[in-house]
A and B are shown apart, each in its own frame.
Chain A
Amino acid sequence: MVNINKNILRSFLLLSYVAILALIIFGISSLYSYLNLGADRNTMLHTEIKKIDQYIPRLDWAPLSNEGRKIDEQTLSTIENDYLDAWYVKHVAYKTNNTEGIDDYYTENARRNIIDFVALNLSSTITIDGTTLEHHPKLEFFSEDGQLAVITDKDVIEYKRIYQNEKLVLETKERNTYKSILLLEDGFWRIRHMIKEQSDDYEMNIVPSLHQITTLQGINYYPQATPWDMFGDTFSKEIISKDFEIIKNAGLNSVRVFVQYDDFGKANINEVKLEKLKQTLDSAEEHNLKVLVTLFDFYGDYSVLNWTLNMHHAETIVSTLKDHKAIVAWDIKNEPNLDFESRGKENVIAWLDNMIDLVKSIDKKNPVTIGWSNTQSATILKDKVDFISFHYYEDLETLETSIKTLKTETLHKPLVMQEFGRSSYNGFWSPFGSSDEDQADFHKKAQEIIAANDLQFMSWTLYDFENIPKEVVGRLPWRKNAQKQFGFINNNGAKKASFKYISKQ
């Protein structure tokens, strides 16, 4: 007994000794590496590119017919940059009530107006979260010495949220026309005079899309090896083509794919990824499948000042692909209602609302929807979307009533159950989980309800996955493991029992 105690004591001492040593070494090494941190050598030459896009609203110059000197492209683009930057610093000033940057883009006399406003708003704790979404400038005049320009900026779409004491007081979207006189000072085109000449409230008319979805029977798709990284380095058109063949042969007619905001290069779309998306669409077309593209996944900022960047992202994708025959509809955002709590419901809805307007202004043909994560949120913006999408991972018992309520609430707009499924995982982390049979049973029942209610659907998902990135369901192993086995085909490539019920037949 004594001996054992002694041994325990010994081993404890030994272990604590090792632990203390390890801590000391770790401490010294981190101190050493901290002291060795210095400026990166290549910063010495200032070769890094300073300009980052922070504000890119849609901007269309009217054809040039200005009085005075003929302008060249280079100067016009400098004016455009500085003019937009002037707007940007103004938005920032009114959002933060701090006038930093104003001096660069407004002349000495003009900046006083903004400084006065900031002081006024600061005194009554007003902040304005605003942005402009569209500009239609016309160059009226460019002086002979190239130092003065006059611009009429027609129909500037201006969005503002006004807060007082941190409470939202008003949300407004206006269409304004401004006349600006700019001077070239110290290499900056600065605003000298600015006059608002017209102003009215702006609401885009809701125009239904030319096409509508009628018989969407599909599946959410990720390649088995690269879930949530479909357009990465391992992108292979052959694999996608093979998978699309399986999907087509299973009696389905469509797939849903995802564009991840950061992955696609944010505002500056990565051309390579866009090309891969196009190849995916080409492959779908070859297999006679339609594609529902989710424009924003893994995105959750929604801050008003970044809207122009988000919109530029969506605009690039939509305008490039809108005429592709495989496109069936645009899904604006995957499960935005999950961000309500962390980002504020009004912020998210306003973002969606404006994003729908943007997509519809570019593509009048294809319908637009939002991939809500449940049936309760699915009525939000129901008048703006062309069809309603919801995801359903709850008990199938209540599905039918949910569908009925949704149908009456949305005045019988087409309804798509855009994601549904069940994991067949039962193991260490979930000993009482579902089996393959349970999953099959779930899909069988789901298909019955779908048939009975004439519902359009896209199930989750074709494959079981090996690796789930932590961004999808977090790090918790019971969630991760469950997420791995939602597929109709398992990791060995064998069709699970549920495959029989993948489609209506």
Chain B
Amino acid sequence: MKIKFTYLFIFGLLFISAINSFKKSDNIDNFQLLTTETEFVADTKIELNFSSINEKLPKLYLSNSYGTTILKPNLLNGVLNFQLPESISKKTGIVTWKLLLDTVKLTGSFNINPKQEVSTLETYIGPPSIVAGGTDFSMIVIIPTDLFDNPLLDNTEVNVRHLFLKDLSNKAHFTKNRFAYQNIYSPALSGRILVSSESLNKNSKEYDVNVLPAIPNDFTISYKRNHAFADGNQVTSFFTSTIKDQYGNIVSDGTYVEYFIRTDSNVILKTSGTTIRGVATAKMIHPDHEENWIVKAFIEGMAESNVLELMYEPVISDFEISFSENKRIITIGPLKSFMSQLIPDGIEVKISIYQNDSKMSTITKSSFEGFAIFKLNANTFPNDTYTLKIEAVGIEKTFRNLKLW
């Protein structure tokens, strides 16, 4: 009884498989992929072949990294042949295909790999200038590509070389995500790093990275002047020492240095200069009266100098004043300088006119050939008594109850 059952079972199985195979042979769209490779190398010519038992010419759907298309076959001796267009065969990545049939789905995919030969070393380097001292760096990114502009496979060796002064460095990298990169750190000295790369015996061209000096250290200042007299005419020059960064690099030309001069009356005068070979020069005209200057220079936000004290001696101890024409014309002078010469033109002379302790007016004039002449207009100052205060080269003279008529 048991044996009977087994027989029946086996018979049943055979029957079912017979039905199945019958079904298959009944299927007229019996195409099979003949091409066995699933890995290709990018090329101008790649083809796919299918076996065909009938005259049908199904089309082929193809899709790669960039696009999708439909191909028509060529039927040659029972082989369905598809020539891949160059826009597919030349580009790397996975390519999926579907044979477009009504009844069965025949699909698959294959890989196109780049030809492992470097045609171009696509190099990106930046930033182009960095600061000396070893903390700042520039990055070089290299994408080795093949003849058809495909990046090579991962784990391709790329050598990055860079030279600074006499130090040549060579480091090997293996591409990941289709590229290799290296950080190039700045040396302590400023200058230029030359960079190049190499992969599979293909060398790149030369690239360079500028190494700029780091932020400047504090510096000292000095001055130079013809004489120490406050003649309001000569010029005092200020100089910095050679400004350097902490590694001894002279700061870049054009570094802006600002000088602050504080006078006795707490007025701040400013002058500035830019560095040439590390030295920034600035000038300031002498004061026209006795004064002490306190000078300090800054490179804003980075460095400062020592404090310098300058003294300017008075050039005149006294001057004469004469009145004429009903005391309405006031002549001041001659103003004489340190060698009793007439003081150079342009010394400021100031007259303040008061009436009953209230200031009416201030008139300012520059000296000309040693004299300054004021005329008090009768319309502005009617006949009355006034107080005059005359200031020049830091000397003040007062005339009380001066009667004008």
Contacts and interface: CB of A to CB of B under 8 A. Distances in A.
Interface of A: 67-69, 90, 94, 109, 112-114, 116-117, 120-121, 124, 126, 128, 130, 140-141, 143-145, 147-148, 150, 152, 160, 162, 164, 169-170, 172, 174, 178-179, 181, 183, 193-201
Contacts of A148: 124, 141
B151 A170 contact: no
A128 B68 contact: yes
B70 A126 contact: yes
15 contacts: A90-B67, A109-B149, A113-B87, A117-B66, A126-B70, A141-B177, A141-B181, A148-B141, A150-B179, A179-B178, A193-B150, A195-B65, A196-B65, A199-B63, A199-B109
Interface stretch (B88-96, B307-315, B366-374): B88-96
Interface in B92-151: 92-96, 98, 100, 107, 109, 124, 126-127, 137-139, 141, 143, 145, 149-151
Contacts of A69: 139
| List of 6 A-B pairs having minimum Cβ-Cβ separation, nearest first | A145-B126, A117-B67, A144-B139, A116-B87, A196-B93, A196-B65
A117 B69 contact: yes
Contacts of B59: 164, 169
Given A124-B70, A148-B141, A152-B177, A195 B93 contact: yes
B149 A195 contact: no
Given A141-B179, A194-B65, A201 B100 contact: no
A356 to B, nearest CB: 23
A197 B68 CA distance: 15
Nearest to B139: A144
Given A195-B93, A196-B94, 19 more contacts: A69-B139, A112-B149, A113-B91, A117-B67, A117-B68, A117-B87, A126-B70, A150-B177, A150-B179, A152-B177, A164-B70, A169-B100, A193-B143, A193-B149, A193-B150, A193-B151, A196-B95, A199-B63, A201-B107
Contacts of A144: 126-127, 137-139, 183
A4 B133 CA distance: 114
A174 B181 contact: no
A149 to B, nearest CB: 10
A148 B150 CA distance: 17
A9 B320 CA distance: 120
A196 B110 CA distance: 11
A181 B67 contact: no
B65 to A, nearest CB: 4
Nearest to A130: B68
Interface in B34-79: 59, 61, 63-70, 72
A109 B122 CA distance: 12
A120 B85 contact: yes
A307 to B, nearest CB: 17
A227 B179 CA distance: 61
A114 B94 contact: no
B86 interface: yes
B92 A195 contact: yes
A167 to B, nearest CB: 11
A23 B66 CA distance: 59
Contacts of B63: 160, 174, 196, 199
A89 to B, nearest CB: 13
Contact of A68 (B69, B127, B139, B149): B139
Contacts of B96: 174, 199-200
Contacts of B61: 162, 169-170, 172
Q: Among B85, B87, B138, find the residue whose CB has the most chain A CB atoms closer than 10 A.
A: B87
Given A126-B70, A144-B126, A199-B109, A179 B177 contact: yes
Contacts of B183: 144
Interface of B: 59, 61, 63-70, 72, 85-87, 91-96, 98, 100, 107, 109, 124, 126-127, 137-139, 141, 143, 145, 149-151, 177-179, 181, 183
Contacts of B139: 68-69, 143-145
The SS class assigned to the B binding surface is strand
A151 B177 CA distance: 9
A195 B145 CA distance: 13
Q: Among A112, A113, A170, find the residue whose CB has the most chain B CB atoms closer than 10 A.
A: A113
A113 B137 contact: no
B272 to A, nearest CB: 33
Contacts of B178: 150, 179, 181, 193, 195
A145 to B, nearest CB: 3
A126 B127 CA distance: 45
Q: Among B66, B69, B127, B179, find the residue whose CB has the most chain A CB atoms closer than 10 A.
A: B66
A112 B179 CA distance: 21
Contact of B126 (A143, A179, A194): A143
A114 B143 contact: no
Contact of A170 (B72, B86, B98, B124): B98
Contact of B69 (A114, A126, A174, A193): A126
A67 B96 CA distance: 31
Contacts of B64: 196
Given A143-B124, A160-B68, A199 B94 contact: yes
Q: Among A140, A162, A183, find the residue whose CB has the most chain B CB atoms closer than 10 A.
A: A162
A162 B98 CA distance: 12
Contacts of B143: 181, 193
B252 to A, nearest CB: 20
B110 to A, nearest CB: 11
Nearest to A117: B67
B124 to A, nearest CB: 5
A90 B178 CA distance: 23
Contacts of A130: 68
B21 to A, nearest CB: 27
Contacts of A67: 181
B87 to A, nearest CB: 4
A178 B177 CA distance: 11
Nearest to A118: B67
Nearest to B128: A145
B209 to A, nearest CB: 11
B70 A162 contact: yes
Nearest to A145: B126
A195 B151 CA distance: 9
Contacts of B85: 120
Contacts of A198: 94
B103 to A, nearest CB: 15
